[in-house]
A and B are shown apart, each in its own frame.
Chain A
Amino acid sequence: MLAYTLQRLLYVIPVAFGVSVICFMLVHIAPGDPLTAVMPIDATAEQQAAMRAEYGFDKPLPVQFAIWFGNALQGDLGASIATGRSVSSEVSRAVGNTLILAFAASLIGFPLGIFFGFVAGIFKDTLIDRAVTAFAITGVSVPNYWLGIVLVVIFSVTLGWLPSTGAGPGGSTNWAWDFEHLRFIILPAVTLAVVPMGIVTRTVRALVGDILSQDFVGALRAKGLSQVGVLRHVVRNVTPTALSVVGLQLGYLLGGSILIETVFNWPGTGFLLSNAIFQRDLPLLQGTILVLALFFVFANLIVDLLQPLVDPRIKRG
């Protein structure tokens, strides 16, 4: 088990390095000059060159990458061009908000997805199954920003029950677990939860259906287990695969959603990203993408480490 854990941890290093290279390259391939936003319109060629040199954009790309990567290893992701603030602090504040939103969406999406999946799988090919499956497909297919807007129209504009934008009263960005703040998270969390819920529902349904059709289920009944006893076995069998799907979806939730955070003005990483893109704020963009990509890597790592605990068929050696 220890060897397995170490091996998985070591895998993270090349993956994380690859992720950094891709983040860096992608941002530099994108068109647009990062300095136009902060440079005076009437700046002379010398002033432009000086500014470029100050930010290090005059050096060859590999050198720029080496400098950026070296600093990133020490936790310094540079300074935002637009605001001048440190990227690390901007990202960590946004990450906190995204984590809160992802957590709330997980609490809604995963339990419901697993529950619906089980119900549909157990009652496969019945009316219940068809209703649940239709619901799940709708959830996956509907564009979630559109769903977000529809929810805002219904619950904020028409009914006036819930606030539509921000992460707290009066545009507050300091989250607190109280009723005032929780009211703000309901709509974005529900909107964000719909897609993972649909995906988890469909996966678990397929898994449960598959397990129930296997010979050993007949053998379990033959030894006298009740329906509940059989279902306990089904749960154990479904868990490993369901766990990996939930892990992937968790990565997706941690990545935040640019569209949903923008629709709801949620001050998370998605919101930060969209601002960075529009302002061509390269250091902020790189830093945010890197942190999000690393979240994905770590979500997968956790799943990989948990899997041998629930599935004896995976070798631990």
Chain B
Amino acid sequence: MTDPTANLLEIENLEVRFHGERTVHAINGLDLELKSGEVMTILGESGSGKSVTLKALLKLLPERRTAMSGSMTVGGIDVMALKGRALSDYRGKTVSMIFQEPALALDPVYTIGDQIAEAVMRHERVSKKDALARALDMLKRVRIPSPESRLKNYPHEMSGGMRQRAMIALALACKPDLLLADEPTTALDATVQIQVLLLLRELQKEFGMGIVFVTHDIGVAVEISDRIAVMYAGNIVEEGTVGEIIKDPRHPYTKGLLASNLHDADAGETLSSIPGSPPPLDVKPDHCSFAPRCAHAEERCLSALPPVFKPGPGRRVACILEEGRAPQRLGQRLPEPA
């Protein structure tokens, strides 16, 4: 990773299929790239495959019931080929993860200090004493008050926000290149959410790692990220910088998501929502998954997968509506949103 322009994370044509009582095509040909030090948010509603993508990156999906194909590389490591010792070396060291519900993601019968020290000792040849010293340092960095005594606390002795800070300390203890954050603020109170987001952003600058952040909350996505990828039915339908997505959404689904945001809504005003619900995904999509809910859908939307247009660097839209637009050239102004 000496080349700063090189991608830290590259996902190409990822497909994840669960088989069991019924088959679910959770991820369908997903492409994603992330530069080191960049924060990317995957935005989407429940069931769109956001969390599955993160778990696939750590190979945490239940092996017996999951079929994966495509390619994933992190810092040049071929994730698909990892197994055994190499896989557990990679987990927590190269890529680590913070989870949605810190109360459930921490072991209830180990102290916070022990849980952080355990990760440090797993990846670095240090003594228990040094590992605990690192744990203390991490608790300080995530600004947990009276860190010395918190080190000896069990998870149930801490508040929700405190536990999530401890989880972040654990995830960053081995200085990972890539941090995966699976809705880390969803389970928290609104005021605590903001604090945790600000903390994550600061730590990201301090540690310089890349972050893939998953959320269904546009407000959170805007707050934390450099770029946003909008996910629907197991694939990315639109990607761009935060400004591009907010000011110039191109895909009808993105527009719908932005319109159904509660911000700026006046009392008594009818709230808009996207009609219908996401497809069941028991068969692999062979046409635009959003077409049944889309006001602009044409016949061909239902007969083939939509083409992916790339109107600018790092910008893509998977929708036929892009067809009529003139290819964007350098210096040309973006068209005003409709």
Contacts and interface: CB of A to CB of B under 8 A. Distances in A.
A233 B110 contact: yes
Q: Which of B89, B101, B107, B110 has the most CB atoms of chain A within a 10 A radius of its CB?
A: B107
A229 B123 CA distance: 13
B121 to A, nearest CB: 10
B209 interface: no
B106 interface: yes
Interface in B88-135: 88-93, 96-97, 99, 101, 104-111, 118-119, 122-123
B106 A219 contact: yes
Interface in A192-219: 214-216, 218-219
Given A214-B104, A216-B104, A219-B105, A224 B99 contact: no
Interface string B54-84: 0100101000000000000000000000000
A233 B122 contact: no
Contact of A225 (B88, B105, B108): B88
Contacts of A310: 109
A223 B122 contact: yes
B170 interface: yes
Interface residues of A, number: 21
Contacts of A312: 108-109, 111, 154, 156
A4 B58 CA distance: 44
A118 to B, nearest CB: 17
A121 B104 CA distance: 20
| Interface SS majority for chain A | helix
Interface in A272-317: 310-313
B151 to A, nearest CB: 14
A72 B102 CA distance: 55
A222 B97 contact: yes
Contacts of A158: none
B85 interface: yes
A223 B114 CA distance: 13
B112 to A, nearest CB: 11
A313 B119 contact: no
A233 B105 CA distance: 13
Contacts of B119: 223-224
Contacts of B170: 223
B104 A224 contact: no
Contact of A220 (B55, B85, B107, B123): B107
Nearest to A215: B104
Interface of A: 214-216, 218-226, 229, 233, 236-237, 240, 310-313
26 contacts: A215-B99, A215-B101, A215-B105, A216-B104, A216-B105, A218-B99, A219-B167, A221-B58, A221-B88, A222-B91, A222-B92, A222-B97, A224-B89, A224-B91, A224-B92, A224-B123, A225-B88, A225-B122, A229-B118, A229-B122, A236-B109, A240-B109, A311-B109, A312-B156, A313-B108, A313-B156
